Amino acid sequence: MAEKKPAEGEPITIKKYANRRLYNTATSSYVTLDYLAQMVKDGDEFVVNDAKTGEDITRQVLTHIIVEEESKGTNLLPISFLRHLISFYGDSLQAVVPNYLEHTMQSFATNQEALRKTMQEALEGFNPFGQFEEVSKQNMVLFENAMKMFSPFYAEGKGVKPKTNNSNGGQGAADIDEMRAKLEEMQRQLDSLSGDNDKK
């Protein structure tokens, strides 16, 4: 039975079989993780479904691609970041982390385009260092805010958890209010950075 090609604008369907082989239904051919990684870099949208159950396993496959890239020595994820990320599984803030990370990476991608433009101008004889410094500052703000969000209850500059009084119900509410205020402030900073880049 011939595979149905996706309509324009729809993601390509990749099927994953029990033998771990990946099948591209758009090209009717088997592909590799490296092939899918290149699709991501090219901006080609795809979903990965389990061939037997039909379950969407795109997240697991993308995570597998990251693991493969990291094992090749292309280390993009600092160990401290990975430790923080793991610690949020099962945490009360778990629901907040995905949206925050997505927004942060979108803002970083915007800065990345600005950096690429700067490097292109450098090849034409322009001095890129002033613009490069500005982009770097913006990225540092994003990462610093991300790290603060990852450790909202840690003493600043110490890396240890402050003692809390579990018998004081008001303290827990105050911590939540403080965390919410910090997240709102970070959101405003991210929106401001995104707005500045849109004007360029």
What's the rounded Cα separation, in Å, for the pair 39 and 110? 20
- What are all long-range contacts of 96-105, with beta carbons under 8 Å and residues at least 24 apart? 96/183, 100/146, 100/149, 100/183, 100/186, 101/146, 103/187, 103/190, 104/142, 104/145, 104/146, 104/190
117: tokens are 């433009």
Phi, psi of 56 (to 5 degrees): -75, 115
Write down the domain spans for the chain: 12-71, 79-199
Look at 7-21, 77-91, 142-156 and tell me which has the smallest mean pLDDT. Answer: 142-156
3-state SS, one letter per residue, for 25-69: CCCCEEECHHHHHHHHHHCCCEEEEECCCCCECHHHHHHHHHHHH
Question: Residue 194: is its pLDDT beyond 80?
Answer: no
Signed CA dihedral, 149, 155, 159, 164: sign only: negative
Tell me what pLDDT residue 170 has: 60
pLDDT at 159: 45
Q: Are strands 12-16 and 46-50 parallel, antiparallel or unpaired?
A: parallel
Rounded CA separation 145/6 (Å): 40
The whole-chain average pLDDT of the chain stands at 76
SS3 124: coil
Q: Which residue has the higher pLDDT, 20 or 132?
A: 20
pLDDT band at 193 (very low <50, low <70, confident <90, very high): low
Report helix, strand or coil for 91: coil
Helix (H, G, I), strand (E, B), or coil: what is residue 119?
Answer: helix
The model carries a pTM of 0.53
Nearest to 29 by CA among 58, 57, 5: 5
* Residue pLDDT, tens place only, 70-115: 998 878 888 998 898 899 898 888 888 888 888 888 887 778 777 7
Angle, CA 29 vertex, CA 27 and CA 33 arms, to 5°? 105
Torsions phi, psi for 118 (to 5 deg): -60, -45
